[in-house]
Amino acid sequence: MNKTEAKKRIEELRKKTEYYATKYYDEDKPEISDFEYDMLMVELRNLEKEYPEYKSKDSLTQKVGGHVKEGFKKVTHEVPLQSLQDVFSFEEVEEFDERIQKQAEENGIEKVNYVVETKIDGLSAALEYKQGKFVRGATRGNGLIGEDVTENLKTVKTIPMELNDKIDITVRGEVFISKKDFEEMNQEREENEQELFANARNAAAGSLRQLDSKITAKRPLDIYIFNVQKIEGKTFNSHFEELEYLSKLGFNVNPVRIPCKNIEEAEKAIEKIGEDRENLTFGIDGAVVKVDDLRFREILGSTIKVPRWAVAYKYPPEKKETILKDIICQVGRTGVITPMAILEPVKVAGSTISKTTLHNEDFIKEKDLKIGDTVVIQKAGDVIPEIVEVVKGKRTGKEKDFEMPKVCPVCGALAVREEGEAAIRCTGIECPAKLFRNLVHFVSREAMDISGLGENIIQQLLDKNLIKNIANIYELKFEDIASLKKNGTKFAQNLVDAIERSKQNDLSKLITALGIRHVGVKASKMLAKKYKTMDNLMKATFEELSMIDDIGPIVANSIVEFFSEEQTIDLIDKLKTAGVNMKSLEEESEDNRFEGKTFVLTGSLEEFTRKEASELIEKFGGKTSGTVSKKTSYVLAGEEAGSKLTKAQNLGVTIITETEFKEMLEQ
């Protein structure tokens, strides 16, 4: 590589590493694996070493990645929170030891001891205590300036608010989410159709860097302390001694800390951690080798970015070949049908892998997966097994293509993939896999509004086989409900009354409760008003539905498909038998003063809630919308109206105040 090529490649690597670092540190949304990023950094570092004339202080080899997020108060670290020099082989570990031994000899130090610790895969934070009381916490940021996340750190249960000694101390730790908690979080997010966290590290970072500490409090964050940054009134000779003292103070100290008499013992400790990492409850991305003698550390000093007295050994991702024996489909609580790979069992990173998710139809096509293929497996972030690629050279011609099912594998209802979505869903309202979520929605306030029938009670009813479908709600007996709670007589009577009241709800609430895709509260009211009865709605054709304002072809198709399902027809029949109202109770208003008019509400109103104002507009034949366009008739602007008001002004839409709205109602 000549100088021109080297300069071009260095510039290219700087742009790439800066981009990926921003995604990783600032946005908590990594786009490549840690190993891929590390390899880019190694290449950049080697090129800058070979061509020092192109070295720059702006390169990530010379500074810590990460910036302060907007909205957080800045904290200047008295002692910088530095990064670590990564190494990828024992040869590099031994080179590190040679440099340390040379410095030791020059300074008359006879023996160098090391401490080897796990490199926890999380987000670094500094905790500051005054007289033993927690006063401030901050993220690492760029190493010199971090984010004040004190309130968020107070929600982490393993951070002591008061120490066992009234001392002024600043410590450094790693905030993380355990493997088990991470898996449960992602499982819950998948069930709720939320974007999955890429890995535990970014889940922890995203959770800690929330502007609302209430969100952080809901996340299962933990912390291990691994260093004293600053301490008043005490001195220590060794790092290991320091860690023991931190433990006595009440800190949750990194549990894997192995004292080593020489580099050979340190290498054995690295190997031991590598062998045992699968059994650790927390994720790691390496092992850290540290000089134990604190006075010698001061002599060794630091570069701008890293201390000279430590290195981080990074374990390479382990990959193994195995056979993709089959692809089966599972149905989640929301009806999403997910393909799962059934594998010939293979041991990867210490655990036996026999199955893994294939995410969706697009993933299978992108990887060109066939049943019978030889595939390469690796564990992403030491937690989630994934198929990396197909070994196409090992195909025999006997491999079979896989097609996603056209019907739900659990209940047999139609399975659909809508335009713009990757997921395929079951449309069956009585599908056992979806039953819990369907029940929760059916009884919710905006739907049938059955007070007292919350998620916990629904789960108990399902566990005791007292409910097997939605219609069973109306067959519940007083004694069945009373048995769910100690002294549950009053609770049972209240719930029985609430169930009975729900039978008299307007048709619009029943339509909402059915959970037809794309049909919310507003569309349900519109459909109830137009069709008057459930029977009429069930007979509605695609053509007539698609001609209704705010319905359109996608929603119309969803409605027609829903009412063509045998499960839907069966449920409606059962609800009719139970005495649930199937008619619109809304009386036709003779006053249609707002007919053909569309209102957009913005800001806070004094005399009306938005719901009340919307209901009045609809009562007089008008419509409400969430977006401003040229077709908008009026924008009703309250206090602190935002971008919608600005857009209305730009488009020349009529803007009215709450007083003017009241005058329109009183005319």
Q: Which residues are catalytic?
A: 119
Residue 78: exposure state from Cβ atoms within 10 A (0-12, 13-18, ≥19): exposed
User: How far apart, in whole angstroms, are the C-alpha atoms of residue 337 and residue 438?
Assistant: 16
User: Which of these, 464, 421, 459, 444, lies nearest to 512 by C-alpha position?
Assistant: 444
Three-class secondary structure assignment of 283-298: CEEEEEEEECEHHHHH
DSSP label at residue 439? H
**Contact of 132 with 167, CB cutoff 8 Å:** yes
User: Any alpha helices (H) in 147-238, and if so which ranges?
Assistant: 150-153, 179-191, 200-208, 213-217
Helix (H) or strand (E) holding 612: helix 610-619
Task: Take residue 319 and report the two structure tokens written for it.
Answer: 């990959």
Distance (Å, whole) CA 462 – CA 440: 12
Q: Which residues of 608-621 are buried (b: 16+ CB within 10 A; e: fewer)?
A: beeeebbebbbbee
Residue/partner pairs of 357-366 with CB below 8 Å, 24 or more apart: 358/327, 358/387, 359/422, 360/422, 360/423, 360/424, 361/404, 361/417, 361/422, 361/424, 362/422, 363/339, 364/327, 364/339, 364/402
Question: For residue 217, what are the contacts with CB-CB under 8 A and spacing of at least 6?
Answer: 155
Rounded-to-integer distance, Cα 602 and Cα 635, Å:
7
Residue type, 579: G
Q: Which two tokens stand for residue 521?
A: 């509260």
